[in-house]
Amino acid sequence: MGSSDTKYFRKSASYGFRLYDHEKDEEAVCRLCWANALPGGRGFVLIPEAGAVSFGRIVTGPFAKYAPEYFYVADDLRTGNLVGYLTGAEGGPVKTKKGKMAWMDWRDKTAERIAEKEFGEISFKLSLPIYGFLEGAKFFYALSLGSRAIQFLLHAKFNGANEMPKAPPCPEFHFHVASGHRGEGIGRKFIEHFVSRFSAGKNQKVCAQVTVCEGHKDLDYYDSIKYRGKNVWKVFDRKETAMYTNTEKQQLGLGRVVENVSLVADRKKLLAFIRGGA
C-alpha cells in the first residue's frame, strides 16, 4: 500500500513508481503476474487461482533474487493498490560457485528450483506417492490444483527450456499492468526508467520476452511499433509452446499457434520512441 512517506522515484498523474519491497509486495506482484500471464491479459487458467502466488514466484523470483535494483512497482495513489510491475536484469553472465552462467540459463534454472520448492519434485514420482518421493504438504497442494495443472507443471519441467527462445546478453525486462489501468502510460514509464539506467556504449540493445498468438497481442502488434518509420522491435528468436491443448486453444481463442518470442530493440531508438519521438 502506498503512503505519504513512501519513497517514489517518480510520480505521474495518479500513480507513484518505486522499488519493489519483497516483504510488502510479493503477493500482489505474484497475483498480477498470474492474472496477466495469458496473451491479452487474462487469468492463467492452467494454474488455478489457488496457485497464483506460486506461479508468480516462479516467474518473478529469479529477478527478485538476482537484480532487485531493477524491480519496480506502480501504486495507484488514490487507493494505495499496486497496479503494475517491471522486472529486469542486466543480462550478462551470472557468477556461480561453478563459474559463470549465461543469464537466461541461470534464470531458467532458478525458476525450476523455485517451482520444486513450491510444488515439490514434480516428475513421474508424482504418480507414485507411496514411495515417499514428495513431501506430504507439497504433494497434496499440487494435487489440489487439478490434473491439468499437474500436466502443465510436468510439461514446464521437462519441456520448458526447449520452448524458451534464445536471447542476446543484454538488458532484459518484462512488465505487467493491471486491467483498468492500461493505456495510462504506466508501461512506458517503467521501460523508460529501466532502459535509461544503462549506458549506450556498453548496452546498445535491449531484450523483451513476450508470448504471442493469433487473436490477441501477436507479432503484428510489435511490428506496428515504429520510430521514424522503422521497426523498434525485431525478432531475435521464437519458439512454439505446447503448453495448451488444441481444445484449450479453441476455448480460449488463442489461435493455432502460441509462441514465446525474444524481441530486441536498439536502446536509443526504444528510448526515443518511449519519450514520444516520431
- Please write the tens of the pLDDT for every residue from 134-192: 456 787 788 889 999 989 988 888 888 889 999 999 999 999 999 999 999 999 999 99
Q: Is the pLDDT of residue 278 over 90?
A: no
User: Are the CB atoms for 71 and 63 separated by under 8 Å?
Assistant: yes
Long-range contacts of the stretch 91-100 (C-beta < 8 A, 24+) = 91/167, 91/168, 91/169, 91/170, 91/171, 91/172, 91/207, 92/169, 93/169, 94/66
**What CA–CA distances, in Å, run from 80 to 126, 128, 220, 262, 273?**
41, 46, 35, 33, 30
Q: Can you give the pLDDT at residue 132?
A: 47
Greatest distance between any 2 Cα atoms in the chain:
64
Kindly list the structural domains of the chain, giving each domain's residue range(s) and its CATH number in brackets, ordered by start: 20-274 (3.40.630.30)
Would the pTM count as exceeding 0.85? yes
Mean pLDDT of the chain, nearest integer: 88
- What the block records as the C-alpha cell of 274 is 518511449
Single-letter residue type at 41: G
Q: What's residue 159's pLDDT?
A: 85
- The count of other CB atoms within 10 Å of the CB of residue 159 is 13
